[in-house]
Amino acid sequence: MTEDPVRLEVSDGVATLRIDRPKVNALDFDLQDRIGAAAREASARDDIAAVVITGGPKVFAAGADIKEMAALDHADMLRRSKHLVDSFAAVATIGKPTVAAINGYALGGGCELALCADIRIAAEDATLGQPEVKLGVIPGLGGTQRLARLIGPSRAKELIFSGRFVSAEEALAIGLVNQVVPPSDVLDTATAWARQFVGGAALALRAAKEAIDLGSEVDLATGLEIERQQFAALFGTEDRAIGMRSFIEHGPGKAEFRGR
């Protein structure tokens, strides 16, 4: 295993959260803790506008470390599971646009990690799935919840009940991934998507993400109230004043935001 299996690399406003635990990026407890810590750092840093999550050119993450989990009993997992869920929640709640760049396998916990991103870009030969039922368990890091919200309960049940693998083509058709590209283009495509937000209205992007994510968990009336409050709050920001003044004076798309 490499000395630092989770790295947060920042270049020109885009952070790459890179997982590097050969051979298949098995997500043991230490790795999940490191992912959560990197996500919290990415969310807090002002020099990061967007985040790319990748496991490298061969495999995104082929699931949890089964040997590690096999040694646990009910009491052990009760103690540990909340911390694991919190690590993935840290990824899902990064207050900036996030994209998973998926090469190879994204299975079990790997698929759940990809689900934490705002969008997913997959290689043509990528394989996704939630095969936990074949181990006598269920997805435990958000798979039953995030997958159902993304592709609908019926499709999520079919995938989770069967534990079958999904090709990139099918994943695109059912809305599990947003784009499919040649394997060699995955990271560059994801980075290009993330780069569009550098210099953007960071506070508005965060508000939009929070409104969508929080609103998806409540009834429409409550969701509209969440949106109203987020919308009104942005009128107290410098970026709102800059954006509207720039639009009036120079037309759309020319504002230089400050993140304040």
In sequence order, which residues have a C-beta less than 8 Å from that of residue 24 and are 6 or more positions away?
Answer: 59, 61, 62, 63, 105
Task: Catalytic residue, from 124, 132, 210, 256: name it.
Answer: 132
In this structure, what token pair is assigned to residue 177?
């991934």
Task: Catalytic residue, from 112, 124, 170, 217: name it.
Answer: 112
In this structure, what token pair is assigned to residue 158?
């079919």
User: Is residue 217 among the annotated active site residues?
Assistant: no
User: Is residue 158 among the annotated active site residues?
Assistant: no
> Other CB atoms closer than 10 Å to residue 260's CB: what's the count?
10
Residues tagged active-site = 112, 132
